[in-house]
Amino acid sequence: MRFVLPLLLFALSAMAAKPVNLVFILTDNQGAWTLGCYGNPDIRTPHIDQMAAEGIRFTRALSSNPVCSPTRATFLTGLIPSQHGLHSFLDPKFMMGPEAYNTLQEFTSLGEVLRDAGYTCGLSGKWHLGANMTASEGFTTWTTKPDGSTQEFYDQKVIENGQLRVEPGYTTDFWTRKGVEFIQQNKDKPFFLYLAYNGPYSLGKLMTQPARNRHAAYYADKPLHSFPRDAMHPWQFNNKEFHNTDAGRRRMAAECSGVDDGVGEILAALKANGLENDTLVVYSSDQGWMGGQNGMWGMGDHFRPIGAHELMMQIPLIFRQPGQIPAAQTCDAIVSNYDFMPSVLGYLGLADKMPQKPQSPGRDFSAALRGQKLANWDNTIFYEMETTRAIRTERWKYVARHPDGPHELYDMQSDPQERFNQYGQPGTESVKSNLAKQLDTFFTRHADPKYDIWQGGTSKAKRHTK
């Protein structure tokens, strides 16, 4: 009997020391406002709402760029576009074919850090960061798609086991199914599942075609008043054919609910495998999206000049780990997706593994996940797409476009919908000057001259536009 207690203590110690699993669910083109837990009364998202009820929901999380390749790179590296070099969406030639290459190869990314910490890492879903045929960045399980855009969700090409083939059926369900398989196969060891949906999307001919998933019939006659009806904004450049259409609204709603089904299956798989309390689940989107607000439909690159509206930036951000993250919490701090990697590593006890070269501008908000108050948090974040840059503070937003404007200045407290541009208005000179100085200081400190478009740098992605 004298050996029983030491053995029991050793077993308990080993259990306590087991690393927390990570499931990172990232969607494509989804504004926070499309979810029930963020106040949407029309779109059914019960499983994502459940995540929020059982964890913490960030009410003011913003992306540092309004398109997919740059934001996905930022989530995985903690770096801004002027550091990782992806200022826009990646051309297909860099994903497949003789010019394909991994755009993150020069950096240490989240998957590599977790791999080195003993995690098995798996990707299921959209990559859009180059060399799509080949597993990279610490991932050993690799199921993805050959491109970045989405023309449809049915009978689409996928890459699995290094082979390109057509997957029959609904792609959203396929990514979920592969995610569940990964969880089941790795339940006895620490794992990182990157479940990167290419839904709900919201662009191209998809928005002119009716949904075909299990939610299509429900939304077929719904007015969806949460999508505002407003005259088309004069800066709208793309998406005009489905701007303010019932077809576009209903397709978006159905695809949001389709993703929500997948979230429910992932949560159920964790519970069925006894991993619910051992796994941090994160839900977010690569960037925000507008569905009629201010007469706008889409994201920043769908406007000329490039847009920097709040809803192009605002993303859902929800963390859940029962027993560790207090339930039904909200955090109102303004955070960016460049804060994601240092915060996740901080929560997992790997803060010292955050890469230092190049140094991320990201901050660690993991204390909020543990129910603690964020001390001395600065509610200031920065945003850029090609020649457009912005700074968002607690009260103000300043948007600067290189080299000749137009520029914007909004009081986000009195004008949260950004209806009245105060740039150049009497009495705002000192506010504008201070914000411009902060913007320049930030990019002078963090931008790599090679990728600093304002200073003649280049981009790994689309040629920059005004």
* Domain-located, residue 8: no
Q: Are residues 352 and 385 in the same domain?
A: no
The three-state DSSP-derived secondary structure of the chain is: CCCHHHHHHHHHHHHHHCCCEEEEEEEECCCHHHCHHHCCCCCCCHHHHHHHHCCEEEEEEECCCCCHHHHHHHHHHCCCHHHHCCCCCCCHHHCCCCCCCCCCCCCCCHHHHHHHCCCEEEEEECCCCCCCCCCCCCEEEEEECCCCCCCCCEEEEEEECCEEEEEEEEHHHHHHHHHHHHHHHCCCCCEEEEEEEEEECCCHHHHHCCCCCCCHHHHCCCCCCCCCCCCCCCCECCCHHHCCCHHHHHHHHHHHHHHHHHHHHHHHHHHHCCCHHHEEEEEEECCCCEECHHHCEECHHHECCCCCCHHHHEECEEEECCCCCCCCEEEEEEEEHHHHHHHHHHHCCCHHHCCCCCCCCCCCCHHHHCCCCCCCCCCCEEEEECCEEEEECCCEEEEEECCCCCCEEEECCCCCCCCCCCCCCCCCHHHHHHHHHHHHHHHHHHCCHHHCHHHCCCCCCCCCCC
Looking at the 3D structure of the chain, how many domains does it have? Answer: 2
Q: What are phi and psi of 140, to 5 degrees?
A: -110, -25
Structure tokens at 188: 């006895």
In CATH, what number is assigned to the domain containing residue 448? 3.30.1120.10
361, 391: one domain: no
In a shared domain, residues 315 and 434: no
End residue of a domain, out of 316, 340, 369: 369
Same domain, 290 and 228: yes
Asked if residue 279 and residue 246 are part of one domain, the reply reads yes
Domain identity same for 211 and 152:
yes
Residue 10 lies in a domain: no
Last residue of a domain, one of 369, 394, 411: 369
Shared domain for 288 and 437, answered yes or no, is no
Q: What is the pLDDT along the chain (466 residues), one digit of tens a residue?
A: 454 554 444 444 444 578 999 999 999 999 999 999 999 999 999 999 999 999 999 999 999 999 999 999 999 999 999 999 999 999 999 999 999 999 999 999 999 999 999 999 999 999 999 999 999 999 999 999 999 999 999 999 999 999 999 999 999 999 999 999 999 999 999 999 999 999 999 998 899 999 999 999 999 999 999 999 999 999 999 999 999 999 999 999 999 999 999 999 999 999 999 999 999 999 999 999 999 999 999 999 999 999 999 999 999 999 999 999 999 999 999 999 999 999 999 999 999 999 999 999 999 999 999 999 999 999 999 999 999 999 999 999 999 999 999 999 999 999 999 999 999 999 999 999 999 999 999 999 999 999 999 999 999 997 555 4
> What's 193's domain CATH number?
3.40.720.10
Does this model's pTM top 0.85? My answer is yes
Q: State whether 336 and 444 are in the same domain.
A: no
Q: How far apart are the first and last CA of the chain?
A: 76
**Domain end marker among 342, 369, 396:** 369
Position 3 in a domain: no
Instruction: Select from 185, 197, 196, 198 the least CA-distant residue to 21.
Output: 185
Residue 62 and residue 98 in one domain:
yes
In a domain, 466, yes or no: no
- For residue 60, being part of any structural domain is answered with yes
Domain assignment present for 5 = no
Residue 329 lies inside a defined structural domain of this protein: yes
The one-letter code for the residue type at 72 is R
Instruction: Note whether 42 and 132 are same-domain residues.
Output: yes
Is there a single domain that holds both residue 197 and residue 327?
yes
Q: Do residues 284 and 343 both lie within one domain? A: yes
Q: Which domain holds residue 425?
A: 381-455
Which residues are paired to 157 by β-bridges?
Answer: 166
Residue 394 lies in a domain: yes
